[in-house]
Amino acid sequence: MTMSYRRKMDNCGVVIPDSFYPVDSLRQYVHLGTVKNYAKNSSVIIPGEPTNALIIVLEGRIRINLISDDGREVLLYFAGKNCLLGRLFPTEDNIHAVAIENSTICRFTKDNLKEIFRDNEEMPFDILKNYLAKASYFMRQVAEINSYNPTIRILRLIYRLCVLHGKQLENAHEIVIKLSQANIAEITGAHYVTVSRVLNCLKKEKILNKNKDKIIVYDLEKLKLLSEQSTYY
DNA sequence: GCATTAAACATGG
DNA sequence: CCATGTTTAATGC
């Protein structure tokens, strides 16, 4: 693998499990599906609900949880505007989806989709890309968890966020993102106390500073070097 | 090397 | 006020 290819690969990944590959072209077929509104904190998909429709998020934001065997809910991903929820085929998974903003979704049954596909032969490929984006993320996530310690996963997350979404300032990089420490913990699989400790260490070393709606990275190279160690604690 | 626990503190609707 | 998020230290696996 050449360096340029590797760099490209690093830049095309999904860092935060959020919306993956939005399919905005599906919006024009909303009249063929079933639209429904959900208030903030209401359940969009209740556990055990039948899987008989492809869902697109028209507005708002939904948190998709997997219910584990012991009954706890663990984050799978966030679904924002034009994100698809693949609920067309039955699975073993027990999913609970909660609107974290007032949200609007549209459900397409298999028959709805047949009609859409007849009209738009590109549509199946867009939907495939959405599924691929999700599969790629979670495959990579398995490798990530198996390859790096929790503290390093936190550093790697922020580094990749910066490379992918960071805006170059005069003397720093700015990542505009609303991401709580609890969210970082859920995404990386590290404990939230560990996230707090790591972020404070990075702040004391003047490498970065994170607040409610942005992360400022002052020393990206140092962050990269630290993320290549075996641990940071 | 980090999770867990608990308890204190901080922010904001 | 309460809910939610953050910090810190002690202890455990």
pLDDT in tens, A58-103: 999 999 999 987 788 899 999 999 999 999 999 988 999 999 999 9
pLDDT in tens, A95-134: 999 999 999 999 999 999 999 999 999 999 999 999 999 9
What's the mean per-residue pLDDT of chain A?
90
CATH 2.60.120.10 fits A14-144, yes or no: yes
What is the pLDDT at residue A213? 86
Nucleotide nearest to A195 (CA to C1'): C6
A192 contact to strand C (CB, 7 A limit): yes
A191 contact to strand B (CB, 7 A limit): yes
Phi, psi of A95, rounded to the nearest 5 degrees: -110, 140
Q: In 3D, which of A87, A81, A210, A221 has the Cα closest to residue A159?
A: A221
A188 contact to strand B (CB, 7 A limit): no
Q: How do the domains of chain A map onto residue ranges?
A: 14-144, 149-227
3-class secondary structure, A227? helix
CATH number belonging to the domain at A149-227, selected among 3.40.50.2300, 3.40.1410.10, 3.40.50.300, 1.10.10.10: 1.10.10.10
A214 contact to strand C (CB, 7 A limit): no
What is the pLDDT at residue A70? 76
Residue–nucleotide distance: A170 CA to C4 C1' (Å)? 34
pLDDT class of A135 with cuts at 50, 70, 90? very high
3-class secondary structure, A174? strand
